[in-house]
């Protein structure tokens, strides 16, 4: 079977657009072929800054011929009394390319209709592709699409050529003034001009001959190898050789060549992060660090210096005669940027960090939410609530207050104005220079983390707490303003911030049970009382804001738990049992406890009993108290006695000693105790009419079951586990 090649040739595409466009192109092609019943074996996407490519392997030569049954009008409408066809019959037959004699009859609900058995001859693959491909190209969405010339088509960058080959035959189609053909283009500088392609199988090799590596993985391998080799030449090790920087340079080159550059040693007295930010975020350079990092005094310092005076840039040009000029040009640009950074770094320190408070009061956090000074006041108040709620030790509480008072002051420094990516880091550097304690310094630096998908959560406890408080305030404030993410649009990175909160609480603050629901409630109330939002045209619906925030965070929590390997039913059962935002580490423990429960027959019996209790109670609200005197049947008396034994011998002693259910071992003990009245529960349901006609008896039996349900739900809502309980 033939292979099909589609290449969309363009002006240089934005690096961030390419990976998403590749995935979208594959999805559109898959959906298009399946919708047309055209089978294929596999697909491969490729790309460079100047092209998006897809190759479909072993595509069927033509669609399968199909036969369908089309129901027409009732027979009595199609033929008159003498059996002569009416216009209804001839019209229906004609529309389906049949004669009246070819129509059949079938009964539907006691009425006989005429039926047309329509055979549709499959189209050739070339016909199908010519039909679907132009539509696919226009559906490759992205941000800031553009039009060019007098054309109506929108794309990320102007389309300059199209290749469309089914084996050795051109599948011709039109897109504006372009006609798809068999001619691609070589490297713009190293091998300009057209490349004639005879069939898809020679695509990769012929483009390589023209200095274009069309497979991103091939370019990545070249870049990684060359960067490592150049770093080793200066006895160093390349940094940032994974993640977004590597992906970006892969997508801005067609024929990569790594070039080693140098900068003056005097700039090494700047913090590593400052130098790296200039290199990575502004110049797309790979920094080079010492293989063996030397000790630089205090290991807790945020001013560590481990870089070498070198960098590696990736050029899209491998001409030997061009390398010196490329090196000098990049060194010149980097020198200017480092000089600016050096000036601002030392000039800022002429003013103490604490002296920036007045300037910060003039910096708006968000219109409608006050200044950054107001934000700091909110964070300090929120920290006070958290500290009291979790009984935070002074060794964490005192640095937390201080860090929150200082953490936003660097926003008005010249260095952050010049390099906004350094917010937090700059404040930490200046705080350390002024002698602030290490716990405060590290929290200032880390409270923005995770800053990106490549970043990790803060490693210090105070920084983790500050991160949760700061992100919670951001989420509540922006949700209150109605600035929720929609579709792919998330200008305030609220999804990342919500995921950051979840990650910090689950992975970092395992021993500090932060009540996220209480923090959200406090901030929702604060914004209602201290801003003008309540009197705005939108109004201020505190309950709606809270509900939306909870669901927004729970979506991220579900995703994280699934990534941890928990079954969907287990996750939903644990989340439904009680407010999961009350204690996120406890959610993980209960998921593990629930999985363990389902692995033994005794555990399954606990789940079955809990399921029966939950199903009979449902969502009904009954305020009746349990009355032991209303028990009349042996089965309900036995169950009540079993519960009393459980409560007296297990629950009350734990509560008296203030023992909560915290670890998997705690829940194993609870599950063992619950298993002791599994048999009485089953006997109760088998021998007692729970929903008795007598309202008092019915409510009393429900009240007894509610007492049990409370303790089952200490683990999970077992009604959500029905699919997993045999």
Q: Are residues 291 and 401 in the same domain?
A: no
Q: Are residues 401 and 276 in the same domain?
A: no
Q: H or E segment at 424?
A: none
C-alpha–C-alpha distance, residues 56 and 165, integer Å: 10
Q: Are residues 422 and 535 in the same domain?
A: yes
Q: Are residues 496 and 431 in the same domain?
A: yes
What does pLDDT average to over the chain? 92
Cα distances from 170 to residues 166, 349, 420, 446, in angstroms, run 6, 67, 51, 57
Q: Of 105, 120, 135, which one is at a domain's C-terminal end?
A: 120
Residue 662: pLDDT above 80? yes
pLDDT tens digits along 21-68: 999 999 999 999 999 989 999 999 999 999 999 999 999 998 878 888
Q: Are residues 622 and 528 in the same domain?
A: no
Q: Would you say residue 567 lies in a domain? A: no
Least confident piece of the model among 205-209, 410-414, 702-706: 702-706
Q: Of 506, 539, 561, which one is at a domain's C-terminal end?
A: 561
Q: Are residues 581 and 518 in the same domain?
A: no
Q: Would you say residue 569 lies in a domain? A: no
Residue 657: CATH number of its domain: 1.10.730
The residue assigned the tokens 């220079």 is 433
pLDDT tens digits along 317-337: 999 999 999 999 999 999 999
Q: Would you say residue 294 lies in a domain? A: yes
Q: What pLDDT, on a 0 to 100 scale, did the predictor assign at position 538?
A: 65
pLDDT tens digits along 151-176: 889 999 999 999 999 999 999 999 99
Handedness of CA 695, 700, 705, 710 (dihedral sign): positive
Residue 687: pLDDT above 60? yes
- Considering the chain, what percentage of its residues have pLDDT values greater than 70? 98
Q: Are residues 584 and 661 in the same domain?
A: yes
Q: Of 159, 180, 209, which one is at a domain's C-terminal end?
A: 209
Per the structure block, which two tokens stand in for 600?
Answer: 């033994």
Task: Show the domain range for 408.
Answer: 355-561
Q: pLDDT tier at 141 (50, 70, 90 boundaries)? A: confident
Cα distances from 604 to residues 208, 478, 596, 622, 721, in angstroms, run 61, 44, 10, 28, 10
Q: Are residues 301 and 413 in the same domain?
A: no
∠ CA 597-701-633, nearest 5°, is 100
Residue 52 C-beta-side C-alpha neighbours within 13 Å: 26
Q: What is the DSSP string of 668-702?
A: HHHHHHHGGGHHHHHHHHHH--SS-SSHHHHHHHH
Q: Are residues 144 and 189 in the same domain?
A: yes
pLDDT tens digits along 472-526: 999 999 999 889 998 778 889 999 999 999 999 999 999 999 999 999 999 999 9
C-alpha–C-alpha distance, residues 6 and 171, integer Å: 9
Based on DSSP, count helices (H) and strands (E) in the chain, helices before strands.
27, 18
Tell me how many domains the chain contains.
5
Burial (CB < 10 A; 0-12, 13-18, 19+), residue 325, is exposed
Per the structure block, which two tokens stand in for 301?
Answer: 């310092």
Residue 536: pLDDT above 70? no
Q: What pLDDT, on a 0 to 100 scale, did the predictor assign at position 539?
A: 72
Q: Are residues 453 and 336 in the same domain?
A: no
Q: pLDDT tier at 460 (50, 70, 90 boundaries)? A: very high
Q: What pLDDT, on a 0 to 100 scale, did the predictor assign at position 133?
A: 95
Residue 296: pLDDT above 70? no
Residue 557: pLDDT above 80? yes
Q: What pLDDT, on a 0 to 100 scale, did the predictor assign at position 220?
A: 97
φ/ψ of residue 594, rounded to 5: -65, -40
Q: Would you say residue 568 lies in a domain? A: no
Residue 12: pLDDT above 70? yes
Q: Would you say residue 566 lies in a domain? A: no
C-alpha–C-alpha distance, residues 357 and 409, integer Å: 7
Q: Measure the N-to-C terminal CA separation of the chain; round to a whole number of Å.
A: 47
Q: Would you say residue 496 lies in a domain? A: yes
Q: Are residues 339 and 386 in the same domain?
A: no
pLDDT tens digits along 335-352: 999 999 999 999 999 999
C-alpha–C-alpha distance, residues 427 and 259, integer Å: 34
pLDDT tens digits along 636-652: 899 999 999 998 999 88
pLDDT tens digits along 238-295: 998 888 899 999 999 999 999 999 999 999 999 999 999 999 999 999 999 998 755 4
C-alpha–C-alpha distance, residues 119 and 69, integer Å: 9
Q: Are residues 382 and 252 in the same domain?
A: no
pLDDT tens digits along 101-114: 889 999 988 899 99
Q: pLDDT tier at 594 (50, 70, 90 boundaries)? A: very high
């Amino acid at each position: 079977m033939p292979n099909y090649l589609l290449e969309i040739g363009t002006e240089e595409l934005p690096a961030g657009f390419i990976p998403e466009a590749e995935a979208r192109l594959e999805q559109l092609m898959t959906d298009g072929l399946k919708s047309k019943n055209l089978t294929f074996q596999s697909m491969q996407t490729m790309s460079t800054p100047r092209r998006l490519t897809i190759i479909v392997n072993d595509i069927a030569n033509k669609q399968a011929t199909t036969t369908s049954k089309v129901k027409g009008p009732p027979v009595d409408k199609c033929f008159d009394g003498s059996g002569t066809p009416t216009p209804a019959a001839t019209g229906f037959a004609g529309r389906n390319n049949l004669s009246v004699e070819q129509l059949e009859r079938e009964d539907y609900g006691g009425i006989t209709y005429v039926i047309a058995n329509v055979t549709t001859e499959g189209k050739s693959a070339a016909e199908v592709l010519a039909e679907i491909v132009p539509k696919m190209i226009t559906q490759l969405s992205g941000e800031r699409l553009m039009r060019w010339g007098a054309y109506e088509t929108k794309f990320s960058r102007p389309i300059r050529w199209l290749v469309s080959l089914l084996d050795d035959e051109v599948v011709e189609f039109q897109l504006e003034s372009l006609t798809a053909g068999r001619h691609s283009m070589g490297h713009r500088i190293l091998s300009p001009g057209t490349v004639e392609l005879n069939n898809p199988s020679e695509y990769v090799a012929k483009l390589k001959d023209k200095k274009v590596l069309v497979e991103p993985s091939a370019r990545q391998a070249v870049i990684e190898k060359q960067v490592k080799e150049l770093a080793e030449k200066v006895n160093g090790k390349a940094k940032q050789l994974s993640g977004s920087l590597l992906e970006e340079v892969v997508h801005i080159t067609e024929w990569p060549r790594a070039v080693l550059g140098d900068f003056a040693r005097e700039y090494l007295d700047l913090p590593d992060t400052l130098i790296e930010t200039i290199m990575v975020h502004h110049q797309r350079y790979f920094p080079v660090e010492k293989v063996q990092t030397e000790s630089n005094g205090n290991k807790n310092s945020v001013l560590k210096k481990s870089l070498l005076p070198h960098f590696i840039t990736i050029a899209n040009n491998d001409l030997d005669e061009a390398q010196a000029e490329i090196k000098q040009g990049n060194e010149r640009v980097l020198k200017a940027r480092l000089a600016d950074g050096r000036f601002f770094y030392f000039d800022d320190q002429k003013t103490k960090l604490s002296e920036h408070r007045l300037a910060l009061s003039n910096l708006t956090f968000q219109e409608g939410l006050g200044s950054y000074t107001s934000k700091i006041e909110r964070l300090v108040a929120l920290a006070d609530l958290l500290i009291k709620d979790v009984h935070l030790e002074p060794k964490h509480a005192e640095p937390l207050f201080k860090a929150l008072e200082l953490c936003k002051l660097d926003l008005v420094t010249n260095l952050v104005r010049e390099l906004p990516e350094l917010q937090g880091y700059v404040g930490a550097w200046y705080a350390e220079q002024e002698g602030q304690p290490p716990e405060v310094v590290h929290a200032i630096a880390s409270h923005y983390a995770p800053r990106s998908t490549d970043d990790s959560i803060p490693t210090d406890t105070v920084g983790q707490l500050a991160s949760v408080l700061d992100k919670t305030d951001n989420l509540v404030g922006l949700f209150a303003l109605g600035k929720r993410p929609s579709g792919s649009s998330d200008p305030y990175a609220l999804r990342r911030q919500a995921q950051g909160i979840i990650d910090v609480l689950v992975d970092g603050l395992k021993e500090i049970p932060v009540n996220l629901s209480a923090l959200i409630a406090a901030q929702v109330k604060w914004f209602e009382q201290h801003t003008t939002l309540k009197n705005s045209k939108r109004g201020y619906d505190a309950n709606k804001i809270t509900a939306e925030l909870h669901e927004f965070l729970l979506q991220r929590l579900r995703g994280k738990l699934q990534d941890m390997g928990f079954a969907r039913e287990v996750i939903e059962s644990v989340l439904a049992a009680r407010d999961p935002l009350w204690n996120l580490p406890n959610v993980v423990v209960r998921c593990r406890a629930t999985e363990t429960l389902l692995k033994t027959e005794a555990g399954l019996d606990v789940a079955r009993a809990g399921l029966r209790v939950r199903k009979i109670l449902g969502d009904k609200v009954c305020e009746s108290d349990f009355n032991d005197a209303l028990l009349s049947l042996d089965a309900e008396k036995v169950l009540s006695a079993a519960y009393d034994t459980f409560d007296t011998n297990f629950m009350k002693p734990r509560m008296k000693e203030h023992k909560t259910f915290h670890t998997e071992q705690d829940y194993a003990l609870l599950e063992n105790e619950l298993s002791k009245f599994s048999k009485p529960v089953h006997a109760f349901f088998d021998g007692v009419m729970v929903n008795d006609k007598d309202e008092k008896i019915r409510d009393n039996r429900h009240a007894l079951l509610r007492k049990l349900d409370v303790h089952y739900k200490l683990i999970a809502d077992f009604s959500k586990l029905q699919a997993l309980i045999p």
